[in-house]
A and B are shown apart, each in its own frame.
Chain A
Amino acid sequence: MSETGSYTVRLELVDEPGELLRALRPIADNGGNLLSIFHERGNVTPRGHIPVEVDLEATPAQFDVIVDALRDAGVNVIQAGAERYSEELTVVLVGHLVETDLSDTLQRFQDCGGASVADVSLSAPAGTDEPSSARLRLVASEGRSADALATVREVAAEKELRVVEPLTEGSA
């Protein structure tokens, strides 16, 4: 019915034994044909994850199942073939980031769907009285960056964080 196409999936793996194998299994299990794996071991993301780029062949239907299966398996999929996570969004958060549980904040951005936290830089000056700042790069699937931004605003408002938003599209 559908023709087989080739896809590139970009994953972020935790640096632990067996992680790569765990990430590849859903591909093979769902009929994908692995073409190449580029394991960027030396290139650790700011969150300590290792980016891996996987090229594979599958039908569009199989590919959708594979991406879902990867996500179900807890593998962080940054970029998946045709569904490019193409819209990037950088925001700066200001406030008591550590005290308000930064990892929960990031997790909730991630959970809003359609967006992924690609990297985080935190600047927390000495002393907890001072507010800290964090710069986040979010990658959202096409057309979803407004949703992602809405989630950022919502979580930030709840935690009394200030959001320095990027200007809306076409403003460079």
Chain B
Amino acid sequence: MRLAVVGAGAVGRSVLELADEYGHDVVAVADSTTAAVDPDGVAAGEVLARKRETDTVGDDEPAAALSAEYDALVEATPTTLGDAEPGFSHVRRALERDRHVVLANKGPVAERYGDVRELEADSAGSVLFEAAVGGAIPVLSTVADLNGQVTAARGVLNGTANFILSRMAAEGLGYEHVLAEAQDLGVAETDPTFDVEGTDAALKCVILANVLYGGGYTLADAAVDGIADLPGSALELAAEDGRTIRLVGEVSDGEVRVGPRLVPENGTLAVSGTLNIVQLETDHAGRLNISGRGAGGPETASAVLADVGRLPPR
């Protein structure tokens, strides 16, 4: 397929780098200020080098990528809340042109799921967004394969928060100390708010709720509590009792909740480091556990490219 990649962060760059391996051509790529368009396929190596050196991807305006002749738009711009712009407009534009859309950006399907589905209904294009929930972990495709059998989902969906909690528990270190360490390692962003306040995990749960319950959820419908400033003593007390604390998102009985939860220390949900895990409750198959890397450029790009492979041909 011919792909247009919008957004040149870690995910967008990895899609550009790996597309060829999956048999696809990237015919357009854009970051927030520039674009490169080539109907025969852009030279990934050159674009990546240029991005590294000058923080631009080409000489064209970003709009040129959106109007290029592609089959599927890969939307990998940063997640935004509320109106989910500019991601939402990118999705709209592609669907109105009867093109497919593959999202890594959580905003449009967390905050405007109904609008996205409505646009999709009027379009010959389809929308997939595996990469938006759990990075490399095939959560949504598993849910789809189970054909309506999934009744509830829960899991650890933020690697940064999980890294902080597992380091605090393992080393007996304080929150601030571990956060600083995570920032040094590049596990946490300079502004870690989205991760430690639970917003990122909540968006993923909201998307799951939209998929499981047929839409109608936004971030405002989620009860969200984060792990910021959790004292080490809380983890110590949990450990004395054979438990630990994880930031767990739950989607069940029509409700979405994210917060620190007590889980058995050696239980399934107590994954360590930056790993993520999702548990699906099903009608006939019992509980399924899927764990893996929930973030990272190549990891998330693999989910994007798996979605591209699932798209109907145009």
Residues of A in contact with B (beta carbons under 8 Å apart) = 90-92, 94, 121, 123-125, 130-135, 137, 162, 164-168, 171-172
Question: Is B250 a contact partner of A94 (Cβ separation < 8 A)?
Answer: no
B42 contacts the other chain (CB 8 A) = no
Chain B stretch 224-275: residues in CB contact (< 8 A) with chain A: 225, 229-231, 233-234, 236-238, 240-241, 243, 245, 248, 250, 252, 259-264, 267, 269
Cα distance A148–B272 in the bound complex, in angstroms: 31
Question: Is A164 a contact partner of B252 (Cβ separation < 8 A)?
Answer: no
Residues of B in contact with A (beta carbons under 8 Å apart) = 154, 225, 229-231, 233-234, 236-238, 240-241, 243, 245, 248, 250, 252, 259-264, 267, 269, 279
Taking CB as reference atom, which chain A residue is nearest B239? A135
Question: Is B154 a contact partner of A90 (Cβ separation < 8 A)?
Answer: no
Cα distance A168–B249 in the bound complex, in angstroms: 12
| Contact for B264 among A91, A132, A164, A172, CB less than 8 A | A172
Given contacts A164-B260, A172-B264, contact A123 B154 (CB under 8 A): no
Question: Is B233 a contact partner of A164 (Cβ separation < 8 A)?
Answer: no
Supply 9 A–B pairs (Cβ within 8 Å), ascending by A: A94-B234, A125-B233, A131-B229, A132-B233, A133-B233, A133-B236, A162-B225, A164-B238, A171-B154
Given contacts A90-B243, A92-B262, A162-B225, contact A167 B234 (CB under 8 A): no
Question: Is A166 a contact partner of B261 (Cβ separation < 8 A)?
Answer: yes
| Contact for B261 among A94, A123, A164, CB less than 8 A | A164
| Contact for B237 among A92, A162, A165, A172, CB less than 8 A | A92
Question: Is B237 a contact partner of A134 (Cβ separation < 8 A)?
Answer: yes
Question: Is A167 a contact partner of B269 (Cβ separation < 8 A)?
Answer: yes
Taking CB as reference atom, which chain B residue is nearest A167? B261
Question: Is A133 a contact partner of B231 (Cβ separation < 8 A)?
Answer: yes
Question: Is A123 a contact partner of B250 (Cβ separation < 8 A)?
Answer: no
Taking CB as reference atom, which chain B residue is nearest A91? B262
Question: Is B241 a contact partner of A135 (Cβ separation < 8 A)?
Answer: yes
Question: Is B261 a contact partner of A131 (Cβ separation < 8 A)?
Answer: no
| Contact for B269 among A94, A121, A162, A171, CB less than 8 A | A171
Cα distance A136–B230 in the bound complex, in angstroms: 17
Cα distance A132–B259 in the bound complex, in angstroms: 19
| Contact for B238 among A92, A137, A162, CB less than 8 A | A92
> Which residues in B have their C-beta under 8 angstroms from that of A130?
231
> Which residues in A have their C-beta under 8 angstroms from that of B252?
168
Cα distance A133–B230 in the bound complex, in angstroms: 9
Question: Is A92 a contact partner of B245 (Cβ separation < 8 A)?
Answer: yes
Question: Is B262 a contact partner of A123 (Cβ separation < 8 A)?
Answer: no
Question: Is A167 a contact partner of B245 (Cβ separation < 8 A)?
Answer: no
Cα distance A164–B257 in the bound complex, in angstroms: 13
| Contact for A167 among B154, B240, B241, CB less than 8 A | B154
Cα distance A28–B67 in the bound complex, in angstroms: 88
Q: Shortest distance in angstroms between B256's beta carbon and chain A's nearest beta carbon?
A: 13
Given contacts A92-B245, A135-B241, A167-B261, contact A123 B233 (CB under 8 A): yes
